[in-house]
Amino acid sequence: PTIYAITPTYARWTQKADLTRLSQTLLHVKNFHWIVVEDADRKTLLVTKFLSNCGLKYTHLNAKTDQNFKLKDSDPNWLMPRGVAQRNTGLTWIRNNISPQTEGYLYFMDDDNTYDLQLFKEIRTTQLASAWPVGLSGGLKFEGPGFCKDGKVLSWYTAWKPERPFPIDMAGFAVNIKLLFQYKEAGFSNATPRGYLESHFLTGLHLTINDMEAKANQCTDILVWHTRTEKAKMKQEDKLIKLGKPSNPNIEV
Ligand code: UGA
Ligand code: MN
């Protein structure tokens, strides 16, 4: 069975660095299909070239975030949900391009998280749906499954909006791909309140906590971290541009 991973990505100075780091982790994973969805009107040359050289089995898609929901440079990052249109486009691609009989798993990967290779082994043991804690998430050391017993999640460990049906980061769960064909409407919405993207998707698949298989050593191992890449500072570059002396534009960063 294949792990289908959907990664939204958008243009910023650290994009190629983030994609490089992620792809070189993924090169160690067998039976893996990377669905990369650019937040753009058209596929960019940078990502197109990057993917053709990355050595992974991939599908390259694009879907631009609706302008009404697009973060401005000055906005705090939590103002709008991120990756909504891109993940939906990835889901549609799976529903239209793989047979409903295909055995596989679905996992959502931010382009800037940090993944332990053991995680992919855990994902492959998923029957219906599985969960594990995500490090550095939810304003905590980790967030996600709390008390687990006999491979089942019995409670959640979270501090923020604990009433959420699934108080868990996007990186903290995987599902059997067959659910996408069973529940064809399941997906993401820009109207989702802050912190509810994951809950909206998982409840759309008719899942509850009772369905969640506890991975990562009864959810006591941290195998993924919600790291976030610092924005690159371009103060000197901007000065040089004003002086008419920008860095060599032929060097892709
Ligand atoms: C957290 C979760 O880890 C995300 O999966 C979730 O989408 C997000 O919160 C949310 O609640 O919307 P965070 O690190 O804050 O993530 O978000 P980003 O990593 O900035 O964005 C998530 C993904 O969407 C990334 O792969 C990013 O490249 C992509 N993205 C972000 C876009 O495609 N377009 C954007 O304008 C911003
Ligand atoms: Mn992120």
pLDDT (tens digit, 9 = 90+) per residue, 70-90?
Answer: 777 788 877 789 999 999 999
pLDDT of residue 75: 81
How far is it between the farthest Cα atoms of the chain? 65
Name the amino acid, one letter, at 222.
I
Has residue 61 got a pLDDT over 90?
yes
The pLDDT tens digits for 94-139 are 999 999 999 999 999 999 999 999 999 999 999 999 999 999 999 9
Look up residue 240 and give its two tokens.
């040089």
Has residue 69 got a pLDDT over 90?
no
Look up residue 88 and give its two tokens.
């939906």
Residue 163 has a CB neighbour count (10 Å cut-off) of 7
Residue 238 has a CB neighbour count (10 Å cut-off) of 11
The residue contributing the CA closest to ligand 1 atom 31 is 82
- Check if the beta carbon of residue 152 is closer than 8 Å to that of residue 212: yes
pLDDT of residue 80: 87
Domain membership flag for residue 157: yes
How many CA atoms, within 13 angstroms, populate the side-chain half-sphere of residue 191?
Answer: 1
Q: Compute the distance between CA of residue 29 and CA of residue 40 in angstroms, rounded to an integer.
A: 28
Q: Domains in the chain: how many in total?
A: 1
DSSP secondary structure letters along 113-135: -EE-THHHHHHTT-SSEEE--EE
Task: Tell me the residue range of the domain where 110 lies.
Answer: 2-242
Domain membership flag for residue 214: yes
Mean pLDDT (whole number) for 38-49: 98
Domain membership flag for residue 156: yes
Nearest to 106 by CA among 136, 128, 86: 128
Q: Compute the distance between CA of residue 131 and CA of residue 129 in angstroms, rounded to an integer.
A: 7
Domain membership flag for residue 248: no
pLDDT of residue 133: 98
Q: Compute the distance between CA of residue 73 and CA of residue 71 in angstroms, rounded to an integer.
A: 6
pLDDT of residue 126: 98
pLDDT of residue 71: 72
- Ligand 2 centroid–CA 245 distance in Å is 33
**Phi and psi at residue 249, in whole multiples of 5°?**
-70, -15
Nearest to 118 by CA among 201, 41, 220, 240: 220
- Ligand 1 centroid–CA 113 distance in Å is 10
> Which of ligand 1's atoms lies nearest the C-alpha of 84?
7
pLDDT tier for residue 218 given thresholds of 50, 70 and 90: very high
With the C-alpha atoms ordered 99, 105, 111, 116, is the resulting torsion angle positive or negative?
A: negative
pLDDT above 70 covers what percent of the chain? 100
Domain membership flag for residue 250: no
Q: What is the mean pLDDT of the chain?
A: 96
Nearest to 212 by CA among 146, 130, 135, 138: 130
Instruction: Assign residue 116 a region (left: φ > 0; alpha: ψ between -120 and 50; beta: otherwise).
Output: beta
Domain membership flag for residue 201: yes
> Which of ligand 1's atoms lies nearest the C-alpha of 39?
33
Pocket of ligand 1 (CB under 6 A): 7-10, 39, 65, 71, 77, 81-83, 86, 110-112, 169-171, 197, 226, 228
Domain membership flag for residue 249: no
pLDDT of residue 9: 98
pLDDT of residue 72: 79
Which has more pLDDT, 67 or 159? 159
Domain membership flag for residue 251: no
The domain that holds 147 is classified in CATH as 3.90.550.10
